[in-house]
Amino acid sequence: MNKIIFLLMMVVGGVVLAQTNLPATKVKAPAKPKAPTEINSDAADFHMNIHQAIYRGHVVVVDPQVRMTCTWMLVDLPTGGDHLNHVLAVTNVVVDFVDQKGQTNHVTAAQAVYDYKVVGAMTNETVTFSGNPIVEMPTMTIYSEPLVWDRAANKYHFTEPRMISKDTGTNGPAQKLF
Amino acid sequence: MKFKAAIWQRPDLNGARLCRRPAAAIRKLLRLTLRAQPRSAKIRIRALPAIFNPAVGAAIFLFVGMNDPAQQLPVGHATDFTSNQYFEPPHGQQVKMKLSGAEALPLPGGLLDVRQLRVETFALDGKTEVVVRAPQCTYAPLDGVANSAGHMELHSGDGRLHVEGDGFLWRQTSSSLTISNHVRTLIDMPGATMSGT
């Protein structure tokens, strides 16, 4: 009888141990929520009737991908959960971001206009710089008026660009870069 | 998220404009106020000194929404008050704006010192559009202007927009809000592309 009880206890204990030694099931890590866009400024005016905000003085926009500073900025506030679709930044506009190649991009201009539009299945997301726009990358500096940064396609669109390679320091001829 | 709803309702001053003597008009308004029958017991009235001061009494009357006689009418020093403003017919049963505060004190010049202000605006479907909170503000009912040197916060009902800052001026007529210092806005954009990196 004692043997039977002992065997039963061994069996039950073995099952319990087997259960406790089960490999942990792989739990899929939840997707990291995208950080919101943060805008800081000295002062701001919110016009509720037209869903518009105007930021004044030391405007700093921090996006997960981009950091922008300027002196004055107009934002069409999204309604009904829509995407932010229009931003106008004026005076001393500076945009910094890291591109897909890991290169830092430093853009300066007098004005920048951000537009986001979805047409059918196409998403158009562009930033148009004007007022002596300059892109500084580790290897080159590019001048173009205007300068369009296609965020959806990760491309710059230049108009008669002028490029200065930082390797040689020479002022090269206009080149088709992208 | 919509911002079209006005947080403060501009007082209807037609009666006062028609009168050649403003003081007489205010007294007339006060008589109307005293006749109004409150519906809710949410407002506790501690004292009624303002009814003897036509300007202050009228201001408080206008503050809580003279346009809607169904609203509650705190007179004098009110605590834990709530006032609802309703949509125009045919949606007259739906709340458009809910204004509440821990305390409202009458100030000289027809102003009100409101503590722990909370304003909620609603869409026609009942969803919260905007919530504004301020520990303290001064409200001028006749001008439709509220201001404070203190902190304020605004967030949208869907939680995608959050604004805070120090020192604000709210103009009721133009539904505009100016924040004077340290403005911080957080915008949570749905489906934002991860491009550009």
Lowest-pLDDT range, A32-36, A162-166, A172-176, B63-67? Answer: B63-67
Query: What's the CATH number where A129 sits?
Result: 2.60.450.10
Percent of chain A with pLDDT over 90: 47
Looking at per-residue confidence, does A131 or B176 come out higher?
A: A131
Q: What's the 3-state SS for B129-145?
A: EEEEEEEEEEEECCCCE
Alpha-carbon span B17 to B142, nearest angstrom: 12
A114, part of any domain: yes
User: CB burial class (10 A; 0-12, 13-18, 19+) of residue A119?
Assistant: exposed
Residue A79 lies in a domain: yes
The answer to whether the beta carbons of residues B168 and A124 sit under 8 Å apart is: no
Give the three-class secondary structure for A173: coil
Q: Taking 70 as the threshold, does the pLDDT of residue B56 lie above it? A: no
Q: Which of A76, A31, A78, A35 is nearest to A52 (CA)?
A: A76
Mean pLDDT computed over A33-56? 90
Give percent of chain A with pLDDT exceeding 70: 74
What pLDDT is attached to residue B197?
Answer: 28
| A176 located within any domain | no
pLDDT band at B35 (very low <50, low <70, confident <90, very high): very low
The number of distinct structural domains making up chain A is 1
**Which has more pLDDT, A178 or B183?**
B183
Is residue B1 over pLDDT 90? no
Per-residue pLDDT band for A171 (boundaries 50, 70, 90) equals: low
Q: How many CB pairs under 8 A join A and B?
A: 124
Sequence-distant (≥ 6) Cβ neighbours of residue B28 within 8 angstroms: B15, B19
Taking the CA of residue B194 and the nearest CA in chain A, the distance in Å comes to 7
Instruction: Assign B159 a pLDDT band (cuts: 50, 70, 90).
Output: confident
* Residue B124 sits at the chain A interface (C-beta within 8 Å): no
Amino acid in position B160: R
pLDDT bucket at B190, cuts 50 / 70 / 90: low
- Given a cut of 90, whether residue A43 has pLDDT beyond it is yes
Tens of pLDDT, residue by residue over A72-130, are 999 998 776 678 889 999 999 999 998 888 889 999 999 999 999 988 888 899 999 99
**Chain A residues lying within 8 Å of B163, measured CB to CB:** 44, 46
Q: What is the mean pLDDT of residues B157-170?
A: 92
Which residues of chain B make contact with A79, given a CB cutoff of 8 A?
1-3
Q: Round to the nearest angstrom and report the end-to-end CA distance of chain A.
A: 86
Using the predicted structure, report yes or no on whether residue B68 has a pLDDT greater than 50. no
Tell me, what's the pLDDT at A137?
93
Examine residue A21 and state whether it is found in any structural domain, yes or no.
no
Distance CA B105, CA B137 (A): 11
| Rounded CA Rg of chain B | 18
Query: What's the domain range around A72?
Result: 38-134
ipTM of the prediction:
0.73
- B122 pLDDT above the threshold of 60: yes
Confidence check: pLDDT of B52 > 80: no
| Predicted confidence (pLDDT) at residue B70 exceeds the cutoff of 80 | no
Higher pLDDT: B172 or B152? It is B152
Asked which of B73-77, B81-85, B91-95, B180-184 is least confident by mean pLDDT, the reply is B73-77
Cα–Cα dist A172/A147, whole Å: 18
pLDDT beyond 70 at B74: no
Q: Is residue A124 a part of any domain in this protein?
A: yes
* Residue B156: per-residue pLDDT: 87
Asked, for residue A32, whether it belongs to a domain, the answer is no
pTM of this prediction exceeds 0.90 = no
Q: Look at B185 and A38 and tell me if their CB atoms are within 8 Å.
A: yes
Q: What is the pLDDT of residue A77?
A: 84
Inter-chain touch A49–B174, beta carbons under 8 Å: yes
Is the pLDDT confidence value at B64 over 50? no
Q: Is the pLDDT of residue B28 over 50?
A: no
Give the residue on A whose Cα is nearest the Cα of B185. Answer: A39
Which of B187, B188, B193, B194 to mutate: most A Cβ within 10 Å?
B187
Q: Is residue A147 included in any domain, yes or no?
A: no
Residue A71 reports pLDDT greater than 70: yes
A5-9, A173-177, B24-28, B63-67: least confidently modelled range: B63-67
Does residue A146 fall inside a structural domain? no
Residue B183 has pLDDT above 60, yes or no: yes
Q: What confidence category does residue B3 fall into, taking pLDDT thresholds of 50, 70 and 90?
A: very low
Q: State the number of CA atoms in the 13 A half-sphere of B6 facing the CB.
A: 16
